A = this chain, B = another copy of it.
Amino acid sequence: MNTTAFSDLDKYYMAHAILLAKKGRFTSSPNPNVGCVIVANNIIVGEGYHQKAGLGHAEVNALAIAKDKAMGATCYVTLEPCSHFGRTPPCALALTKAGIKRVIIAMVDPNPKVAGDGIKILEKAGIKVDLGLLKNEAMDLNRGFIKRMQVKEPRVTVKLASSLDGKTALKNGQSQWITGPAARCDVQYFRALQSAVLTGSATVIADNPSLNVRYESLKNHLDFDLTLRPAEIRQPIRIILDSHNKITLKEKLFSLEGKVLLVSLLPRDDLPKNKNQFSADIEQLIGTDDGHGRINLKVLLTQLSDYEINDLWVEAGATLAGEFFNHQLVDQFILYQAPKLMGSQARDLVNLPDYSKMIEVVQLSLQSVVLIGNDIRIISNITSDRG
Contacts and interface: CB of A to CB of B under 8 A. Distances in A.
A124 interface: no
A27 to B, nearest CB: 33
A342 B335 contact: no
Contacts of A363: 339-340
Interface in A331-348: 335, 339-346, 348
Q: How large is the interface on A (under 10, 10 to 19, 20 to 34, 35 or more residues)?
A: 35 or more
Copies in the complex: 2
A246 interface: no
Contact of A358 (B170, B318, B345, B361): B170
B175 A358 contact: yes
A378 interface: yes
A343 B364 contact: no
Interface in A155-179: 162-167, 170-172, 174-178
B339 A325 contact: no
A356 interface: yes
Contact of A339 (B175, B353, B380): B380
Interface of A: 162-167, 170-172, 174-178, 318, 322, 325, 335, 339-346, 348-358, 361-366, 369, 371, 374, 376, 378, 380
A343 B319 CA distance: 10
Contacts of A175: 358
Given A177-B358, A358-B178, A162 B166 contact: yes
A22 B20 CA distance: 51
A162 to B, nearest CB: 7
Interface of A is mostly: loop
Contacts of A380: 164, 339
A34 B259 CA distance: 67
Contact of A170 (B172, B341, B356, B362): B356
Contact of A350 (B165, B171, B358): B165
B172 A349 contact: no
A177 B176 CA distance: 34
A348 B357 CA distance: 17
Given A343-B361, A350-B343, A376-B369, A356 B174 contact: yes
Which residue of A165, A364, A380 has the most chain B CB atoms within 10 A of its CB atom?
A165
A353 to B, nearest CB: 7
A352 B342 CA distance: 7
B325 A361 contact: no
A15 to B, nearest CB: 27
A329 to B, nearest CB: 14
A361 B348 contact: no
Contact of A167 (B166, B339, B364, B376): B166
